[in-house]
Structure 1
Amino acid sequence: METLDQLGLADDLLRLPHYPARHFRFHTPAGTLTPTDYGALDSRFPYVALMPQARFLDFLASRARELPTFELRLGARVTGLTEEDGVVTGVRVGDEELPASLVVAADGRFSRIRTLAGLPAKSLGAQTDILWFALPRRPDDPPEADVDLYFGADRYVGLLGGPQEWQVGYSLPKGGYTAVREAGVEPIRAFLRERIPWLADRTDLLTDMNQTTLLSVDIARVERWHRPGLLLIGDAAHVISPVGGNGILMALQDAVAAANRLVPALRAGKVHDSDLMAVQQDREPAIRQVQAAQVRTEKQVLKARERNRTIAPPWFLRWVFAVPAVRKWSAEKNAYGPNPPHLSPELNLSAVPTMIERH
Structure 2
Amino acid sequence: MKKGEQYMWLIILAAVIAAAVAGMVYMVFSVERFGGIQSLAGDKKWLRHLLAFLAIAVCFGVVTVTMSATNAVVVFLHEVLFFLFFGGVMKIVTRISGKEYAVYWQGWLALVTSVIYLAVGWYLLHNVWRTDYSLKTEKPVSLKVAMFADSHLGTTFDGEGFAEQMKNIEAQHPDIVLLPGDFVDDSTKKADMLRACEAMGKMNVKYGVWYSYGNHDEGYFNSRDFTAAELEQALRDNGIHILADEYELVDDSFYVAGRKDYSLGERKDMGELLEGIDTSKYIIVLDHEPNDYDNEAASTADLVVSGHTHGGQLIPITYVGEWFGINDRTYGYEKRNGTDFIVTSGISDWEIQFKTGTKSEYVMIDVGK
Same fold (TM over 0.5): no
Higher strand fraction: Structure 1 or Structure 2?
1
TM-score (structure 2 length as normaliser): 0.21
